[in-house]
Structure 1
Amino acid sequence: MNKRVSPFLLLFCTSFSAVFGQLADKRATTETSNLYRNLTRISGQAVLFGHQDDMAYGVGWKYQKGWSDIKLLTGEYPAVFGWDVAGIEQDHANNIDGVPFDKMRQYIKKAYDLGAVNTLSWHMDNPLNGKNAWDTTSTTVKSILPGGSRYLLYKSWLDKFAVFVKSLKGSDGKAVPILFRPFHENGGGWFWWGAKSCTVPEYQTLWRFTIAYLKDIQQVNNLIYVFNPCEFKTEAAYLERYPGDEFVDVLSFDSYQYGAGAEKGEAFKQEIRRNLAIQDQIARHKNKLSAIAEIGFVEIPDAKWWTTVFAGAIADHRPVYAMFWRNAGYREQEKDNHYYAPYPGQISAPDFLEFIKSEGVLLERGVNKQSVYK
């Protein structure tokens, strides 16, 4: 007996016929395709400096028009801006870090108008039990795959995400291209989509379904998809949960330095060098971009960290961008200082200014000259 094939299944299957080395979304907007092409051109020649939530707040300030810790220090914004949409799935007005989505939309538009690049991550709540992204008490991934008990709920969350992404327009009226990094740090055990909470096939199916649903069903065509494992020491470990070349555009990893002192700094530098060497080799083989999606050293207590640790870490294998985490400043609940980028008066600020003098490090003005959307 003949069975009718669903339109989604047809689209999902045909996506496997994608041409090797091109964007996962073959209907990507012109500006999105141009961004990917130009990042490929820049790759290996320059590193775009990025900072999470840069325009929204910094150490000792929040929601000041035109402010940025990086701009206050250097006179220009970063080249890459990171944002997180956790909370969009629950119809919250603000994201997980308290940034109003209405403001985030304005910041993303401004970054695009400046010629800079935007990225999105999503610390999505656990759709099986309603707890946060760090809840690993349930086998959530299986429940949101087609046929699962939370499949329809998960699709509704993707629909909300799609509405938000489609609302991101520049002053030219065009959709803002976004580097989207879903289900990040997938090799770790701290998220409900991590290695301790789902099987390899479940994770791969979730990734493929999500990307196919967004680009083919919701027709969100301004996303570039960023794969993000962690804690790998070999190519095999890096690729364990890789969903396939036709569903990934950028390879990335996250890494932070813990502990101060020359010995800790040297160990971190060597770790980043090793990780980049592995990732770079895979990226060349698969014709993908190589990036560092999260990195940093909380409070940056080493006055020469930028020129002695980070510069050495990226000297041999240069990621197309490196995203430093957010400058939340003093956190009352945790009773700590939480920042990963320098600001005026911070101990490593003079060294950072020396670091960015390198021709291979680009901030806003440098990336603007590259005309990445044209």
Structure 2
Amino acid sequence: MITADAKATQEAKELLEYLKNTAGQQIITGQHTQTIPCEEIAYIRQTTGKEPKLRGFELLGYSPNINYADASPECLTEVEENKGTAETALQWARANRPDKVNDTGTENSTDYTTGGILTFSFHWFSPLGGRDKSFYTEHTDFDAAKILQEGTPERAAFYHDMDAIAGILQQFQQEHIPILWRPFHESYGTWFWWGAKGAKVARDLYRLMFDYYTGEKNLHNLLWVWNSDIEEAYPGDEYVDVVSMDVYLPEYQSTDYADAYEKLVAATSRDKVAALAEVGYLPDVDLLQKSRIPWAYYMTWSKEFCIGEKYNSVENLNKMYDSEYAVTL
């Protein structure tokens, strides 16, 4: 399978191939975290005796423009708890490196049936202005459309922030660690500043970042995850490795998320790896095993979506992690 980035690292290429080969044969278990202790992982391990193969980390606390003087206690706590998680992610990735095998006699390849997989989310505080959790549109008057205009303060701030985050991602490239990178998530909605001016603006921001990171910043350890099911806003196959959706059902139902899959691939591409990048309720692994809907992975959102039984029962969590169809760590 060809990566969107023509210069993708060998590890990134092999990870994409692994995701492609897994989809429809099994589903990779995934869990988002936001803090250094990763309480969600401890809960899953305590409940099931296993851990998810795919671990998500959050970069919100690394946003360069956080308005500490005008932030709620909740915001300040969330930022404080998130600080240091990039180093936690690096330590985890080092400790859970997949094995290297030499099956060609010429060079070692990565065996992704072993080890863990890493992804980042980025609730990006608006690059200019804003208060409180300014990744939310309601807390900033930052105009994402102005980023697309040469010479604007918005564009300069956008690139300034991209440089800061690129510095974090480069640490992983130096250690040959690929990342499932999901910027501008949920751009089908207007609740984040990057989607506030419409999904097409978010698409153009995504393309700007792709070109800047793969070109100017020489970041080639990223697999690019697009997170929207709006057809006219799809960046194009040349910019995307994984198509994904976030699905939060109003109440629990036993589902393989088949409807979400069909809507997603119809709006994007049937030739890409597909993923449930965020869910509130776990997919039903028995239904998945029967239907073989080719989700490569799912990821439950953090905090109460994982811990306790408000969203997912202990029974359903154990059913997932005990299933032969689920890939765990």
Short-chain TM bin: 0.7 to 0.9
Distance of 1:149 and 1:46 partners within structure 2: 47
Distance of 1:215 and 1:342 partners within structure 2: 40
Deviations 1:168-200 (A, max 9, x none): 26xxx7321000111111111211111xx2145
Q: Is 1:198–2:164 an aligned residue pair? A: no
Contact 2:237–2:269 (Cα < 8 Å) also in 1:
no
Determine helix, strand or coil for the equivalent of 1:150: helix
Unaligned 5+ residue runs, structure 2?
67-75, 99-113
Determine helix, strand or coil for the equivalent of 1:28: coil
Distance of 1:284 and 1:158 partners within structure 2: 27
In structure 1, the partner of 2:183 is: 182
Deviation at 1:311, TM superposition (A): 4.3
In structure 2, the partner of 1:33 is: 13
Matches for 1:142-291 after TM superposition, within 5 Å: 142-147=145-150, 148-168=152-172, 174-194=175-195, 197-229=196-228, 238-259=230-251, 265=253, 269=255, 272-280=257-265, 285=270, 287-291=271-275
Determine helix, strand or coil for the equivalent of 2:137: coil
Contact 2:60–2:123 (Cα < 8 Å) also in 1:
yes
Deviation at 1:282, TM superposition (A): 5.8
Contact 1:28–1:222 (Cα < 8 Å) also in 2:
yes
Distance of 2:233 and 2:268 partners within structure 1: 15
In structure 1, the partner of 2:39 is: 58
1:125 maps to amino acid = F
Q: Is 1:83–2:57 an aligned residue pair? A: yes
Distance of 1:160 and 1:130 partners within structure 2: 19
Contact 2:166–2:217 (Cα < 8 Å) also in 1:
yes
Determine helix, strand or coil for the equivalent of 2:29: strand
Contact 2:29–2:54 (Cα < 8 Å) also in 1:
yes
Larger Rg: 1
TM (norm. structure 1) is 0.70
2:236 maps to amino acid = G
Determine helix, strand or coil for the equivalent of 2:220: coil
Which contiguous aligned blocks of 4+ residues in structure 1 show a shift greater than 6 angstroms?
91-95
Contact 2:278–2:298 (Cα < 8 Å) also in 1:
yes
In structure 2, the partner of 1:135 is: 137
Distance 1:353 1:96, change over 3 A: same
Distance of 1:49 and 1:103 partners within structure 2: 20
In structure 1, the partner of 2:121 is: 121
The root-mean-square deviation of aligned C-alpha atoms, in Å, is 3.0
Determine helix, strand or coil for the equivalent of 1:153: helix
State the aligned residue count: 296
Determine helix, strand or coil for the equivalent of 2:295: coil
Distance 1:215 1:95, change over 3 A: farther
Determine helix, strand or coil for the equivalent of 2:141: coil
Deviations 1:261-293 (A, max 9, x none): xxx526xx38x22111233456663x2001000
Deviation at 1:111, TM superposition (A): 4.0
